[in-house]
Structure 1
Amino acid sequence: MKKLIYFLLLSFPLVAFAQNKLKVSEAGTENPVAGASVFCSKKLIGRTNYEGVLTFKTKCTKVDVKAAGFYDDEAVVDRVMEVSLAKVDPKVQSIETVLINDSSDPLALAILKKVNDNYKDNSPLSLDSYSFKSYEKISLDLDEDSIKQYNTFLQHRLDSLSLLPTVQVSEQKKKDSTESVNVLKLMSESKLFLWERASEFLYSKKYGEKINILDNRVAGLKDPIYEMMTLRSNRNTMPREIREENRSLYRFFLTDSIEIEGRKNYVIRFRQVDYKQPLNKRRFNGYLYVDAETYGLKKLESNSKKKSEGSITSIWKPMDGKWFLSKENLKIKMGSTVFDSKNAQDETKDQKQKFGNYVYMMADYFDFKSPIDVQSKDFSGYTMSVQNADGKSLDAFRTDSLSAREKLSYEKIDSVGKKYKLDQKISGFSGLIRGKFRAGQVDFDLSQVIKYNLYEGAMLGIAAKLNERFHPYISPDAYIAYGFKDHNWKYGAGLDVKTTLQKNSFFRAEYYRDVMAAGRFSENLWNFRMKIMNAGIDLKNDRFYSYDGFKLSFEHDLNNDLTLRASAKKDREEATFDYDFMQRGARFQNFATQLTLKYSPRSKNIMTPAGKFTYEQNYPEFFFNYEQGLNALGGDLQYSRFDALAQHSFKTKAGVTGLRLYGGIVTGETPIWHHFTMNGLGAADGSGFNYNLTSFLGFATMESGKYFNDKFAGFYITHRIPWYFRTFGKTTSSFDIIYRGVSGDMKDPEQHNFEFSKLDHLYQEVGFEVNHFLGTPFNLGFFYRVGYYATDAFKENFAVQLKLNVLGF
């Protein structure tokens, strides 16, 4: 899925109306290929001259190139194009080889360094303001060259089936057989999937980015896939092929310079490091055009090692001294449709007939304007908004007319989508992005299925919530779980009532009976990734308290950046461990109010029928909680609890730095579970080998549940060294240096009659983390305790930690 999502973010150019120049050369030798035929939709445009060059005009988005003795190839239409054809003769290919140094050309790397250094200055984001529009089209279809072959095969297959003797089968099997044949016929007439989108992009340094979906339509679906609307290309990001962290995956060579529209461009070709070099394959995976004056990217073409696997092309254009993405094109293989059939010579043997399925994407960006008249109302609401989703106005934005297969796609697949309820099935994909499993009107929370901590042991649970298919405004939910160590059931139920469908705003009422680790830092308004990372913080902790009661709350997005939640709760709370607070016991009634704020000025959101979706989490982010316990409505406790968290990440030439600052303070008289534990991850008794999973705020070398404070401040600093190397597979590894610390105090520790320590000096640990360890999706970290709390025993100070790389810093 990750691969599909990544490639859907990439490219396809559109109609070229000016003069186009194509140069055709022989792969390996780069000698010109004269007489190569160039076709547009199977119609001959012309043939290359003795220099291997053809100048022409066409409205086609791409052309096919054919020459005797060479494999066919294709090129995305642009002002200047280059194609390298590989020879067909296997005897020649087996003898001749191309030897290339297994290291990049220093001149090419020097140019790429300047591309990186000048990227921000060349980016449109360095302008005060701009606007432009786009038209995008994504489809899933058979390979264009094999459609005729598929139709011939299908007709023979249907003819063969009609000659078979009639066999009595059940009605269900007969229905399945008929539907299978209908799907086969559908593939011969239309695409398997088609989605069009027209968008408007606005940018202001003062207000940020605003994306208006002017119209969009998905064949087979009544409602659009809102999460799919957020998929983007390298429009404002560095292409992955030349990112510094991926540099070790490719070898780069400065091979030429070329003039395009009066501007000199360096031609840098590249190949994957594991790319073998026989002449029956391309010498390079792709090439870059880099503007010699500004070091801005002009063009990128990247091909798979096998021609049949796909290709990607992106083209930029200069405007106001910046480089705007102008065209994108993608073709990538996504599996095959396979049929079993009898061998013509031996009917006892089966043979398979395969037809490749490909994802095609094209995008055209146009109507560029800078500067623009900036008004705050144009940037109101969330980052992305949907103005229309029925496809009726797409004709006004199409820069590439629909083919016959595409026109039939809306007619054919719309009827199939309605019959097979594709809307409900596709919505399951959008649910998984949010950590939910969708089944009709019900969403199941995947994070609640299984948990583990030292007090409850393994805990199995189920949490279900009725979604917008049940009711657009009202959403009940419930959960139940069982701990196999404490042998207790936990459960709860709630009800959300939305005040509007335009943004995140709802009232909530809930009842619960559950347990929680004493002193947990607030996780209010944390996203799914942050909560998952912090889920293992209590693996070795048994200091828990039980609570049951009810809560009323209201959550509201004041704007795209700021979210507010206000709540009031009445709980009955009790320690599950041996504890006494001020000789008043371990059980209390608590009435408290709470205010939570989340400020995320650079994150990007879209409102969907399922609720707000943050499609791009950007830093900095700030979280603030204020809880007030009151001697009212039966409450026994009078206290104030504040906590705050700030996180930021930034990149410099020295590497990528992540910073997390957090802290809290409690005033008044309240039991230990309303104070703060210092988030130790090690065994409570400090014995044994110290191995643990990462957590958002935890310390790998600290004993779990040992330290409690009523005031504290902590920090987490990580720095990625800008040295990226390849171990196994197609991922790159790197090293992070980590420094974590926390300190605080406890005013009256004698009020809490149980065994613990206050942490009133700076607790420090340093770490060294290997990212993508041995090419796996995990990071392996080694940590050591230093400073005041360090001991003489190496084993007590040392810890090993494992982290899933996708969780971030």
Structure 2
Amino acid sequence: MKNYLLIILCLLPALHLAQSKIMVSETGTEVPVRRAAVLCNDQILGYTDAKGELTFRTKCRQIDIKASGYDRENAVVDKVIQVGLSKTDPNTKSIEEVIITDKSDPRALAILKLVNDSYADNMPSSLDSYRYKSYEKISVDIDEDSLQYYNQSLSSMMKMMDRFSMTKKQPEDTAVTVKEVFANSKLFLWERAQEFLYSKKYGEKINVLDNRVAGLNEPLYELMAVQSNRNRMPKEIREENRNLYRYFLTDSIDIEGRKNYVISFREVTYRQPVQRRKFNGYLYVDAATYGLKKIESNSKIKSDGTITSIWQLIYGKWFLQSENLKMKLTNMNMEPESKDKSKAKVSDRSAAQDKTPDNFRTYAFVTSAYFDHESPTDDKASDFRGYTFSVKNSDGSLLQQYRKEPLSSREQNTYEVIDSLGQKYNIDRRAGQLAGLARGKFRYRQVDFDLGKLIGYNLYEGIRLGIAAKLNEKFNPYISPDAYIAYGFKDRGIKYGAGIDFTTSLERTSVIRAEYYNDVMAAGRFSENFWDFRMKLNNSGIAINNDRFYLFEGAKLSYDYDVSNSVSMKLAVRRQSEESAFPYSYKGLGNEFENTSALLSLKFSPFSKNIMTPQGKFTTEKKYPELFLNYEQAFEALGGDFSFGKLDMLFNHNFKNRLGVTGIRIYGGIMLGDAPIWHHYTMNGLAGSSNFKFNLTSYLGFSTMKGGQYFNDKFIGQYFTHRIPWYFKSIGQNSSSFDVIHRSVIGNMKDPEFHQFEFKKLDHLYQEVGLEWNNFLSSYFNLGLFYRVGYYNTPKFSDNFAVQLKFKLLGF
């Protein structure tokens, strides 16, 4: 559920006007609860009978259930609803916690295995083609039960502020304005309508039919692609998460004439019974197809939130019908400044205790509905042209066609109030800055600053500080100049460059670029063309212990073009002067040369999803496999000193299997012809000269290999990682796991005597094995222990052993 909160997007149910049936029982004993009141907006719809059942009709999306001696619960309205009520007596809860077994019911696990085995066949993507639409509404607001208390508190506070209006300071004025917003409107509101198309021949296409965000004039392109359980397996049923939950087969019921198994589940970390639910939720599994009918998943603390996903059987497949999410964001304190700020705050207090005149809980609410299904459909290539996502409209004018119910007065006020605040506080600019961070940029008005070039470190330059700025589309959508400057404190050298982009299409990437540069680089660096920001950041420390650098100055002309959603291409020609920054001579000709060359780069990523934004293409979902190819051809005829060809390749794949999650990275290169050592390949050692080897991770590096030690003119390497399907929790909330890792590389070099400097060729298989603890001690870092094995192993343990730290967000 944390993933939904970080990006605040999922989706939830539409209006239910049909007859509904609720079954209420006591958690633990499963005894029916008689005379339990079912309420819609505090209006009683009826009471359960002796069997704990009630049939009712309502326009509410959510209902409350309360009974004497039990904690109050709520549920999303569906045709069949099952609710468990917990005893209010803490001592009784403690007894029940002891009674519940810590082992899953084998019958429940057997059903879940069949769900997993049948999942691919039950998915809509197993059809030849389909088409359907969706409507989603995402908001941030105070819980409805708190609004009355909130308005009372606001009224009292405003009277008090009027008495001291002459002494108010500007920050307090702003704070009062924000508090007044909640009185009549929500803090955030986003509506989105989409159309989903799928064809086995052409793939997937998602059209954003319309969207509107309160306070913003421009759509949030980077968040357009955020989806929920629409096309992926929910985390509650994934095989690798079985150690995080306990499952119990509790019932079987009929829903729309079809038999369904009811499986209750809870997290294994339940220890404290106070204000906690006995179960995290319920899974409803269709007995005939073993498809998911419904998931109700709750937070451990009752008031922290819930999510309900409902599927429906259409054309023999289980399509998502609706989702409903409510997630606590934070407590908002309304205390006057004179009150005692030191009073204790208890994290587990009840919702009623938080609804005081001074404290209010804010929540994220998401509702979504899916409708107008069609299958099969007429496949037209034109319908799938371009990137995966296309924005058809973004001013909100068409949303009324897709809403399942009118906006409430509070929601209508949200657009008016937040739009006015958006203009006052320039929310568009702030949203643009946040979106830029996803690309590694900081945006200020018409200028984007490259965060990846602010600071670096290597043995040649020492600490390197720099600034890189580029005029963005607000300056001009077709012309974009840029420049950078950097300084190394060890070599005391200034590096700089400038360029200009000419965009020829706003529908896809199509950019002509001219640039001039004067910089330094580590010898033997592997090509990073088309690498995304996370890959480059991951690999930024690859040369941290390599002191073999060279200087280059020149100019380049290039053309960057996306052939399709899957294929990107870049053509370039360049002319540059090159000089080694370390003692070196090539064939006795010295260390300064001229290089004229042409380059071709390709990227193939058939399953990644992209969207075109005013800032350029943005990859909304990176999916494997992906392939990178680079070829460089140098020419003597055009003033260059060499004629050589250089080809390198990188292949990435990451896939799930019954034994866990496996990642494979295969890369290699070959240099044909004669060229200085910096056009060859270093083998990416990360270790320094000290006995204890500690380093940060890199995309292609070896933690036990000394930096700058090995060079080859041809090589092939591999990186293999396998996540053991055992997930656990240690001291915090993050789930941990272990990866088993194996890295190896082998190559050779012809005529090493041509290069007059100290190095070794790596012509035997270099190997290291490791174990990586993901989310080490529930942190956002992975801790890896690596050991060198095979031909290059030495008798000394410290030579072979290394410790590596990796920031979790860098991914595979």
| TM-score normalized by the length of structure 2 | 0.94
1:246 aligns with 2:241: yes
1:199-278 superposed matches below 5 A = 199-276=194-271, 278=273
Query: Is the partner of 1:308 in helix, strand or coil?
Result: helix
1:622 aligns with 2:617: no
- Verify the 8 A CA contact 2:5 2:327 in the aligned structure 1: no
Q: Label 1:276 to 1:420 Cα distance change in 2 as closer, same or farther (>3 A).
A: same
Equivalent of residue 417 in structure 1, options 416, 419, 422: 422
Letter aligned with residue 246 of structure 2 = R
Q: Displacement, 1:16? A: 1.6
1:172-211 superposed matches below 5 A = 173=169, 176-211=171-206
- Verify the 8 A CA contact 2:470 2:482 in the aligned structure 1: yes
1:462 aligns with 2:457: no
Query: Is the partner of 1:700 in helix, strand or coil?
Result: strand
Q: Label 1:230 to 1:348 Cα distance change in 2 as closer, same or farther (>3 A).
A: closer
Q: Label 1:787 to 1:633 Cα distance change in 2 as closer, same or farther (>3 A).
A: same
Q: What is residue 651 of structure 1 aligned with on the other side?
A: 656
Q: What is residue 329 of structure 1 aligned with on the other side?
A: 324
Q: Label 1:557 to 1:282 Cα distance change in 2 as closer, same or farther (>3 A).
A: same
The separation in 1 between residues aligned to 2:390 and 2:96, in whole angstroms, is 57
Q: What is residue 432 of structure 1 aligned with on the other side?
A: 437
- Verify the 8 A CA contact 2:524 2:678 in the aligned structure 1: yes
Q: What is residue 710 of structure 1 aligned with on the other side?
A: 713
1:5-20 superposed matches below 5 A = 5=5, 8-20=8-20
Letter aligned with residue 82 of structure 2 = E
Q: What is residue 789 of structure 2 aligned with on the other side?
A: 786
Q: What is residue 83 of structure 2 aligned with on the other side?
A: 83
Q: Displacement, 1:43? A: 3.2
The separation in 2 between residues aligned to 1:314 and 1:491, in whole angstroms, is 53
Query: Is the partner of 1:532 in helix, strand or coil?
Result: helix
- Verify the 8 A CA contact 1:565 1:596 in the aligned structure 2: yes
Letter aligned with residue 22 of structure 1 = I
Letter aligned with residue 12 of structure 1 = L
1:662 aligns with 2:667: yes
The separation in 1 between residues aligned to 2:448 and 2:603, in whole angstroms, is 25
Higher mean alpha-carbon deviation, 778-787 vs 592-601, is at 778-787
Query: Is the partner of 2:411 in helix, strand or coil?
Result: helix
The separation in 1 between residues aligned to 2:434 and 2:36, in whole angstroms, is 45
Letter aligned with residue 397 of structure 2 = K
Q: Displacement, 1:652? A: 1.4
Q: Label 1:230 to 1:347 Cα distance change in 2 as closer, same or farther (>3 A).
A: closer
1:490-509 superposed matches below 5 A = 490-509=495-514
Higher mean alpha-carbon deviation, 589-598 vs 718-727, is at 718-727
Q: Displacement, 1:638? A: 1.8
- Verify the 8 A CA contact 2:11 2:137 in the aligned structure 1: no
- Verify the 8 A CA contact 2:97 2:278 in the aligned structure 1: no
Letter aligned with residue 333 of structure 1 = K
1:695 aligns with 2:690: no
1:725 aligns with 2:720: no
Equivalent of residue 742 in structure 1, options 728, 742, 745: 745
The separation in 1 between residues aligned to 2:238 and 2:6, in whole angstroms, is 15
Query: Is the partner of 1:231 in helix, strand or coil?
Result: coil
The separation in 1 between residues aligned to 2:295 and 2:96, in whole angstroms, is 29
| TM-score normalized by the length of structure 1 | 0.95
Higher mean alpha-carbon deviation, 91-100 vs 623-632, is at 91-100
Sequence identity of aligned pairs in percent? 58
Q: What is residue 616 of structure 2 aligned with on the other side?
A: 611
1:322-721 superposed matches below 5 A = 322-341=317-336, 353-683=358-688, 688-721=691-724
The separation in 1 between residues aligned to 2:736 and 2:113, in whole angstroms, is 20
Higher mean alpha-carbon deviation, 72-81 vs 441-450, is at 441-450
- Verify the 8 A CA contact 1:87 1:280 in the aligned structure 2: no
Q: Displacement, 1:347? A: 14
Q: Label 1:426 to 1:745 Cα distance change in 2 as closer, same or farther (>3 A).
A: same
Q: Label 1:568 to 1:586 Cα distance change in 2 as closer, same or farther (>3 A).
A: same
Letter aligned with residue 622 of structure 2 = Q
The separation in 1 between residues aligned to 2:7 and 2:103, in whole angstroms, is 27
Letter aligned with residue 236 of structure 2 = E
Q: Displacement, 1:397? A: 0.7
The separation in 2 between residues aligned to 1:97 and 1:670, in whole angstroms, is 72
Equivalent of residue 804 in structure 1, options 783, 790, 807: 807
1:766 aligns with 2:769: yes
Q: Displacement, 1:435? A: 1.5
Query: Is the partner of 1:538 in helix, strand or coil?
Result: coil
- Verify the 8 A CA contact 1:10 1:312 in the aligned structure 2: no
Q: What is residue 44 of structure 1 aligned with on the other side?
A: 44
Q: What is residue 348 of structure 2 aligned with on the other side?
A: none
Q: What per-residue deviation string (whole Å, max 9, x for no partner) do you get for residues 203-250 of structure 1? A: 112221110000111111111111121111011111122323332222
Q: What is residue 298 of structure 1 aligned with on the other side?
A: 293
Letter aligned with residue 19 of structure 2 = Q
Q: What per-residue deviation string (whole Å, max 9, x for no partner) do you get for residues 24-68 of structure 1? A: 223443322222222223333222222221111223212222333
Q: Displacement, 1:104? A: 1.9
- Verify the 8 A CA contact 2:193 2:210 in the aligned structure 1: yes
Query: Is the partner of 2:219 in helix, strand or coil?
Result: coil
Q: Displacement, 1:649? A: 1.5
Q: Displacement, 1:334? A: 0.7
The separation in 1 between residues aligned to 2:380 and 2:430, in whole angstroms, is 40
Query: Is the partner of 1:520 in helix, strand or coil?
Result: coil
Query: Is the partner of 1:8 in helix, strand or coil?
Result: coil
Q: What is residue 141 of structure 1 aligned with on the other side?
A: 141
Query: Is the partner of 1:121 in helix, strand or coil?
Result: helix
The separation in 1 between residues aligned to 2:109 and 2:9, in whole angstroms, is 26
Letter aligned with residue 719 of structure 1 = H
Q: Displacement, 1:734? A: 2.5
The separation in 2 between residues aligned to 1:66 and 1:652, in whole angstroms, is 44
Q: Label 1:74 to 1:349 Cα distance change in 2 as closer, same or farther (>3 A).
A: closer
Q: What is residue 100 of structure 1 aligned with on the other side?
A: 100
The separation in 2 between residues aligned to 1:275 and 1:91, in whole angstroms, is 16
Extract unaligned runs of 5+ from structure 2. Answer: 345-355
Q: What per-residue deviation string (whole Å, max 9, x for no partner) do you get for residues 345-392 of structure 1? A: x99999981111110000001111222111111111000000000111
- Verify the 8 A CA contact 2:152 2:357 in the aligned structure 1: no
Q: Label 1:562 to 1:26 Cα distance change in 2 as closer, same or farther (>3 A).
A: same
